[in-house]
Amino acid sequence: MAYSNLYARFYVLAGRAGTALAAVWHLPPSRWYLAAIGGLQIIAWLESFFIYHNLADNLLVLHYNVDFGIDLVGAAGRIFFYPLIGLGILALNAAVAAALYRQKDFRIFVHFLFSAALVFAIFLDLALFFVYLINFR
């Protein structure tokens, strides 16, 4: 009995999550936001792969401060944390938007959450561009 109760609860939860994500997807502005964020994520992954494959050694300068110089150096594989963080922000904002789909100001919440994720993706691509400049210029 406990197994079927667990399965039934999972099935109901999956149905509600599907309904919530469908409500987010059916808004035309959310599709535009997701397309733009997806394009920027693809660019971020391509930048990361380009930086990783063009390194001469295993060390990578990840941050440069004008006042103090290089202040963060790490292994080359750490460059992939940048796009992963961007995907995490997108997933978190999409989950919050899906959780708020029954609210009366749902459209406004979707605009706020996805525009914040879009701005984050833009700054993420800029950060990766500057990491490229620091390491290869």
Domain boundaries, position 128:
2-136
Question: Which residues lie across from 69 on neighbouring strands?
Answer: 65
Hey, CA dihedral for 84, 102, 35, 132, is it positive or negative? negative
Domain count, the chain: 1
Task: Note the pLDDT of residue 16.
Answer: 81
Q: What angle do CA 127, 132, 60 make, to 5 degrees?
A: 100
Is the pTM higher than 0.95? The answer reads: no
Mean pLDDT by 10 residues, the chain (137 residues): 71 81 84 94 95 87 85 88 95 90 87 95 95 88
Task: Note the pLDDT of residue 64.
Answer: 84
